[in-house]
Amino acid sequence: MRTQHEIGTRERIVRATSRLMQRQGYEATGLKQISQEAQATLGSVYHFFPGGKRELAVEAVRHGDREFAEFLTAAFDRVDDPAAAIVACARDLATGLRDSGWLDGCPVTTTALESVGRAPEIQRAAEEAYENWRTVVRDRLRRSGLAEDVAHDLAHTVINTLEGAELSAQVSQSEAPLEIAGRHLARLIGSYR
Amino acid sequence: MRTQHEIGTRERIVRATSRLMQRQGYEATGLKQISQEAQATLGSVYHFFPGGKRELAVEAVRHGDREFAEFLTAAFDRVDDPAAAIVACARDLATGLRDSGWLDGCPVTTTALESVGRAPEIQRAAEEAYENWRTVVRDRLRRSGLAEDVAHDLAHTVINTLEGAELSAQVSQSEAPLEIAGRHLARLIGSYR
DNA sequence: ACACCACTAGAACGAACGCTCTATCCAATA
DNA sequence: TATTGGATAGAGCGTTCGTTCTAGTGGTGT
C-alpha cells in the first residue's frame, strides 16, 4: 500500500532526526547519518523534505514537542494533585535520563539554542513547543483552583525549572537536580493555596 | 615585551571563542572564524592551544564560568538580602539579553549540551561551572541564616531556574520568563524563613 | 653581533558537509 | 499491457571543516 509506505518512511526519518538532534544537536547531526539511522536513502530524505536540513529540524522539534506534551498530559492524568504530578514528572525525567546513559535530554533544547538568531523557523518551532507545554501545565493548575495569573506564571517557572534541572542533571550525570526541582516546584505551588 | 604579548593574543583568542560559542555553539563555530574575530592567525591559535578546538572550548567554558561567577558575586555584594539579589540578577540577565538582540545567552549552556556524551573534557568544564555558581549562591544563602541542606538545595534550583528561564527568554525573545523566575525564586527562598 | 626561540603567517591536506542530479524501481490506473 | 508518478538509490558537486606543515619575523639574552 502506497499511503502506508509513505507514512512509514517519512515518520522514520522524522523520528531518527529527532533522536539524533536530541543527543548531538543540530550542527553535529549529518543528513547521511540521519538517512542511515532511518534506514532510508538521501534521495528519500530530500523527496519528503525538499527544504533540506532546516525543514527536517523543524519537523524534529515539532515531534519532540508532541512527545513531551503527551508525557506531561499523561502525568497529570495519572496523578490528581498537579503539584504531585510535577514531582512525578521530575522523577520520571531523572530515571529516563539515567537509563539512557545521560544522553537523552530535552529533545528540543539543544537544537533550539543552536538556532537562536540563525534559523528563525527552527527557533519559532521551539518557541511553540515551550508555549504548548506551558499551556498544558497552566490548564491543570487552573483546574485545581488557582487564579489565572498565578497559574500562568507558575506554568512558566514549572517548565523552565524542569528544563534547567534536566540540563544540569545531564551535564553532572546526577538525578539530584531534578529531584530537588520537583520538591521545590511542589512547595512553590503549595504556597499559593 | 613578550609576556604581555603572549597574554594579549591568548586572551583575545579565548574571549573570541567564548563569545562565538555563546552565540553559535561549539559545532557552528569554526577555527577560522575564531582567528579572524580574535585578530590572530590559525598558526597562533594552534601555538597556544595545541589541543585544537576541544582545548579551546574548554578554555572558553572556563572563561564563561568566571564571567558569570563574578556577575553573581557582584549582585550579592550590591544587594544585602540574597533573595532580592537574585531578583536583581534575573532582571539584569533579562535586560542584558534584550540589549544583545536576544543573542547573548548563557556562555556555557549551548556548548555544554553539544558536548554531553561526546566531549568529556568540555562537559567536565561545564559541570565545574555550574558547581561553581551553586557554591556562590549557597554560601550567600547560608550567610543569611539558612540551614546548610536548605541552602544547598536552593542553590541548585536558583541556578537551574535562572538557566531555564534565560533559555526560554532567549527563544521567545521576551523578558517575562526571567522576571517571573526572579519573583518565584524570592518567594521560594522566603518560604524557608 | 649573533644565535635562539616564542610567535606569526597562511598554503595545503584529507575528510566530511549539505545538496543536486540522473537513473531506476514498483504499484496503481486506464 | 502500457503508462504514469511517487519513491528509492547513490554518485558526485562545490564548499568548508579541523588540522598539519613549513617558512618567516622580531625581540631577547649572551
Arithmetic mean of pLDDT, A38-65: 95
Share above pLDDT 90 across residues of chain A, in percent, rounded to a whole number: 95
Please determine, for residue A1, whether its predicted confidence score (pLDDT) is greater than 50: no
Closest-approach nucleotide to residue B3, Cα vs C1'? C6
Please determine, for residue A10, whether its predicted confidence score (pLDDT) is greater than 60: yes
pLDDT at A8: 84
Distance from CA of A127 to the nearest CA of B (A): 6
pLDDT at A11: 94
What is this structure's pTM?
Answer: 0.93
Cα–Cα distance between A154 and A90 in angstroms, integer? 16
Share above pLDDT 70 across residues of chain A, in percent, rounded to a whole number: 96
**DSSP reduced 3-state for A42:** helix
Q: Which helix (H) or strand (E) holds A2?
A: helix A2-24
Arithmetic mean of pLDDT, A111-118: 97
Q: Which amino acid is at B150?
A: V
Show the low-confidence residues of chain B (pLDDT under 50).
Answer: 1-6
Arithmetic mean of pLDDT, A26-32: 96
Answer yes or no: are the C-beta atoms of A167 and A109 closer than 8 Å. yes
pLDDT at B2: 42
Average pLDDT across chain A, whole number = 95
pLDDT digits (tens, 9 = 90+) for A125-154: 999 999 999 999 999 999 999 999 999 999
Cα–Cα distance between A28 and A40 in angstroms, integer? 19
pLDDT digits (tens, 9 = 90+) for A86-110: 999 999 999 999 999 999 999 999 9
- Please report, rounded to whole angstroms, the spatial distance between the CA atom of protein residue A121 and the C1' atom of nucleotide D6: 27
Cell of A22: 536530541
Give chain A positions within 8 Å (CB) of B101.
Answer: 117
Arithmetic mean of pLDDT, A7-27: 93
pLDDT at B7: 64
Distance from CA of A37 to the nearest CA of B (A): 18
Arithmetic mean of pLDDT, A144-169: 98
Protein residues closer than 7 Å by CB to strand D: A 2, 5-6, 9, 40-44, 46-48; B 1-2, 29-33, 42-43, 46, 50, 52-54
Distance from CA of A6 to the nearest CA of B (A): 32
Closest-approach nucleotide to residue B44, Cα vs C1'? C8
Angle between helices A120-143 and A148-172 (to 10 degrees): 120
Which 3-state string (H, E, C) describes B125-184? Answer: HHHHHHHHHHHHHHHHHHHCCCCHHHHHHHHHHHHHHHHHHHHHHHHHCCCHHHHHHHHH
Q: Using the beta-carbon criterion (under 8 Å), do B112 and A171 form an inter-chain contact?
A: yes
Arithmetic mean of pLDDT, A24-43: 95
Cell of A25: 544537536
Q: Report residue A7's pLDDT band, with 50, 70 and 90 as the boundaries.
A: low
Cell of B125: 568544564
Between the alpha carbon of residue B79 and those of residues A16, B74, B100, B140, B181, the distances in Å are 49, 9, 25, 11, 18
Give chain B positions within 8 Å (CB) of A101.
Answer: 117
Q: Report residue A6's pLDDT band, with 50, 70 and 90 as the boundaries.
A: very low
Give chain A positions within 8 Å (CB) of B154.
Answer: 184
Q: Report residue A2's pLDDT band, with 50, 70 and 90 as the boundaries.
A: very low
Please determine, for residue A172, whether its predicted confidence score (pLDDT) is greater than 80: yes
Q: Using the beta-carbon criterion (under 8 Å), do A103 and B117 form an inter-chain contact?
A: yes
Please determine, for residue A5, whether its predicted confidence score (pLDDT) is greater than 70: no
Residue A147: is it exposed, middle or buried by C-beta count within 10 angstroms (0-12/13-18/19+)? Answer: exposed
